[in-house]
Structure 1
């Protein structure tokens, strides 16, 4: 005889819905071409900036590593950022020269890849005249992660802005802050920054609970 499952706890509130990881099938709904399906006309993908977008055009690349130092090949990365003037666009439209939101999958060669523009400084809420250092907001989805992880990538060639950023400097350890810095690396074309994400272990990336 089965006991009836109580939908409410002792306080009368509804119980939390059971969680489940993104699993290896997240690409079927969010990265159709990677999963072998035809792309939609309004697909959210890794090219945030078209050729005529204002600002400095850059690449942001990186790997996602697990606790054993192995690259995670089923990770999906979402990125949200301000434009070169430090402004966010509230509605996504990939027909614009620049859209603030994009996705990239690690399923092909293990590396995520974004074509975008370097973001401008954004005002910090509640602090008049205080600007955050240029950064991009990153969400990581992958098998074994119940709730997507959130982090930020700042830029190593913005030392003054980084030194004065309230969010970046809220991380107490300078060593831990370094896990949030994208490193500029040699490139034959536009500037390229590398931001590797470490889910666990030595050098684990700082994750935020926004």
Structure 2
């Protein structure tokens, strides 16, 4: 569908000009941000999907995810960035490869997960973070989604099914209609990696059970 500038031209003899085309975020997002997925040589240090080192405080967990399009097919050129608190509910604002834990991570399909379109993070279960109203939010992980066809990256959150009491009291999660909240809950899998819990989270971009996205 062609779109036109709705404003009146300054020159009455001029014509309306078509809107400048927008540019999507993909498929080139991997070229500079996930070099190994793009088949390019990696740099000495890469921000990747391992956020918690061996000395990180707290319960180590694995978050396994999948992004599905409106036809329920995996989006294989997706890039996920995450931002979360540590086990004490504090954000690490200075990223360093020497940190035992970093609040920021980046993942793409092909980084440690074999299934089509699958991505993962090795991290710690976050602690509860304060809300502006003085209460505490339930443990959660913030995600940003980049992919071909998405003009502006999408924001969503991951909550945990085994934090039901905290979820029920969370002032942020309670702003989401009750019937939509399940789209933000990661399920705890019976599988484990090295004895560490695995949580499964599916992001649906469109259609039935579309994931809730936030305008942060």
> How many angstroms apart in 1 are the aligned matches of 2:179 and 2:97?
37
- Aligned counterpart for 2:166 among listed residues 143, 158, 161: 161
Aligned to 1:162, the other structure's residue is in SS state helix
Q: How far is the alpha carbon of 1:97 from its aligned partner?
A: 0.5
Give the structure 1 partner of residue 64 of structure 2. 61
TM-score by length of 1: 0.88
> How many angstroms apart in 1 are the aligned matches of 2:97 and 2:186?
25
> How many angstroms apart in 2 are the aligned matches of 1:80 and 1:19?
27
Give the structure 1 partner of residue 128 of structure 2. 121
Give the structure 2 partner of residue 134 of structure 1. 139
Give the structure 2 partner of residue 13 of structure 1. none
> How many angstroms apart in 1 are the aligned matches of 2:30 and 2:199?
25
Aligned to 1:42, the other structure's residue is in SS state coil
Q: How far is the alpha carbon of 1:42 from its aligned partner?
A: 2.8
**Which 4+ stretches in 1 moved above 4 angstroms?**
none
- Gap change, CA 1:54 and 1:182, over 3 Å in 2: same
Please tell me whether the aligned partners of residues 48 and 94 of structure 1 are also in contact (alpha carbons under 8 angstroms): no
> How many angstroms apart in 2 are the aligned matches of 1:131 and 1:124?
5
- Gap change, CA 1:91 and 1:17, over 3 Å in 2: farther
- Residue 196 (1) aligns with residue 189 (2): no
Q: How far is the alpha carbon of 1:17 from its aligned partner?
A: 8.4
Please tell me whether the aligned partners of residues 130 and 136 of structure 2 are also in contact (alpha carbons under 8 angstroms): yes
> How many angstroms apart in 2 are the aligned matches of 1:84 and 1:106?
26
Alignment of 1:1-210 (within 5 A): 19-107=22-110, 109-125=116-132, 127-128=133-134, 130-172=135-177, 174-188=178-192, 189-210=195-216
> How many residues align structurally?
194
Q: How far is the alpha carbon of 1:175 from its aligned partner?
A: 2.1
TM-score by length of 2: 0.86
Please tell me whether the aligned partners of residues 155 and 214 of structure 2 are also in contact (alpha carbons under 8 angstroms): yes
